[in-house]
Amino acid sequence: MTRIWIAGLCAVALFPLTAGTGVQQPKPQVPPQKTQVEVELETKKGGRLGLAIAPPALAGLGEDLVAKDFKAPLNRDLEEAGPFALITGVVPGSTDAASYPAWARLATDWLLASKVEKGAGDEVSVEIQVVDVKAGKPVFSKRYIGRDSQLRRIAHTISDDLVARLTGEKGVASTRVIFVRQTAPGVKEIFQVDRDGAGLLQLTRWGSLTLSPTVAPDGRLAYITYKGGTPEIWGERKRGQAHSKLYPTTVSPQGHCYSPIWSPDGKRIAFVQGDRRGNSDIMILDVDSGRVKRLTDGGCINTEPSWNPNGTQVAFTSDREGGPQVYLMEEDGSNVRRLTFEGNYNASASWSPNGAMVAYVSRFEGKFDLFVHKLGEGKAYQITTGIFSSEGPAWSPDERRLVFASTRSGNMQLWTTDLSGKSLSKLTELTGCQSPRWTRSR
């Protein structure tokens, strides 16, 4: 295993509290614990690091609450994070320095000890210390402060911080998925859920068809709503402000609009505008000025735009050569070229966060499966198989997984998968879910 050395760090992370709450510096060590450890077996870029997680020391909080809202989420987050291999089995009963050689013999690289302590009112603090047991040195220590209702979020943040310490890239445990859910016949609204399926939150309450959510880099939400009778783009002009109409800006627009998606710079929205002939084209809206630019004009159906990470290119679906296929073009509409050639129905492109891959769906025998096209190789790889349909792929911010809607559990739920298609996980236990978007910014 490749060894990765990290300099030690002490810090304090605060979650929202009532005014006047003080912050103390972390204690130098977490007390030794009797240990039953759990561990993760997935890898990222070939480098797994053995991580042992000792049961947390408790002060003033119930064991059941901490086990459910802190220990279980932390173990699951780190188990799914990628770079760690969690250690299980018979383990040493201590986490003090004298026990480090015994931990090392179990292939432990890092040992994580924690203390969860009740403060005044509903305040809670979580202190962690991670030690490189082979070097006998601390690699990370931090104190997190919040409310007892925020233990799950604190666990997510700890996981993300440890991934960042090891890989240089923040983990995705604290990320969220925005999606559409049917709430009544003819009514769909936008919802938000944590990456682990907890924390369900309804974001819109228009009582109409509300579709196609998209999230700007700063967390602003935009979407299509039919609340006025015809589809319009609504959302936030500034983060946290009341939602308002973003397009059309005139009383008589040229045609109905669909499929908005924020540009990576958060200044523009690519969307689809239809005409009376049944055709549609990709348009670009400058949000501040309200100016609109047409990118396609092919007398066909051009739809489902998706930006590359630096905002210089757009992937989209078009039937210009017959059946729907995925195409690429520059941000000004030039240099249109076809991406997909295998299969007669390919759609719903989603550009990966680093720009090296495009996910899409391909229809075969009446159902859709997920594919990923690796641009550097010029090859596509099938991700999902089976008798169930998988639709609307979107990338995780770390590019390790895809979220999508599928009927594999009987009704349309949200699922995630790794790029091998072997690690499938159901995200929601709801009905009528579709159009997921995975984001760090909300």
Residue 317 CA to residue 294 CA, distance in Å, equals 16
3-state SS, residue 196: coil
For residue 139, is pLDDT > 90? Answer: yes
Confidence bin at 252 (pLDDT 50/70/90): low
Full strand arrangement of the beta sheet holding 390-395? 390-395, 401-406, 413-418, 424-426
For residue 16, is pLDDT > 80? Answer: no
Q: What is the mean pLDDT of residues 391-408?
A: 96
Which distant-in-sequence residues (6+ apart) come within 8 Å of 56 by Cβ? 33, 66, 70, 71, 114, 115, 116, 126
For residue 278, is pLDDT > 90? Answer: no
In this prediction, residue 45 carries a pLDDT of: 32
For residue 8, is pLDDT > 70? Answer: no
According to DSSP, the residues that pair with 211 across neighbouring strands are 224
Residue 8 CA to residue 210 CA, distance in Å, equals 48
pLDDT in tens, 329-367: 999 999 999 999 999 999 999 999 999 999 999 999 899
Residue 126 CA to residue 164 CA, distance in Å, equals 19
What is the CA 346 to chain-centroid distance, rounded?
Answer: 24
Kindly calculate the radius of gyration of the chain based on its CA atoms and give it in whole angstroms. 24
Residue 416 CA to residue 121 CA, distance in Å, equals 38
Residue 64 DSSP code: H
In this prediction, residue 24 carries a pLDDT of: 36
pLDDT in tens, 55-85: 899 999 999 999 999 999 999 999 889 899 9
Classify domain 176-439 at the CATH topology level.
Answer: Neuraminidase (2.120.10)
Residue 296 CA to residue 116 CA, distance in Å, equals 57
Q: What is the DSSP string of 389-432?
A: -EEEEEE-TTSSEEEEEE-TTSS-EEEEEETTS--EEE----SS
pLDDT in tens, 309-329: 999 999 999 999 999 999 999
Q: What is the mean pLDDT of residues 160-184?
A: 96
In this prediction, residue 13 carries a pLDDT of: 59
Phi, psi of 183, rounded to the nearest 5 degrees: -110, -15
pLDDT in tens, 38-56: 333 233 334 689 999 998 9
pLDDT in tens, 92-129: 989 999 999 999 999 999 999 999 999 999 999 999 99
Classify domain 10-18+27-167 at the CATH topology level.
Answer: Rossmann fold (3.40.50)
In this prediction, what percent of the chain has a pLDDT beyond 70? 89
Question: Where are the strands (E) in 207-333, listed by range?
Answer: 210-215, 221-225, 232-235, 244-247, 257-262, 268-274, 280-286, 292-294, 302-307, 313-318, 325-330
**What residue spans define the domains of the chain?**
10-18+27-167, 176-439
Closest CA to 131 of 162, 170, 176: 162
For the chain, the straight-line distance linking the first and the last C-alpha, in angstroms and rounded, comes to 36
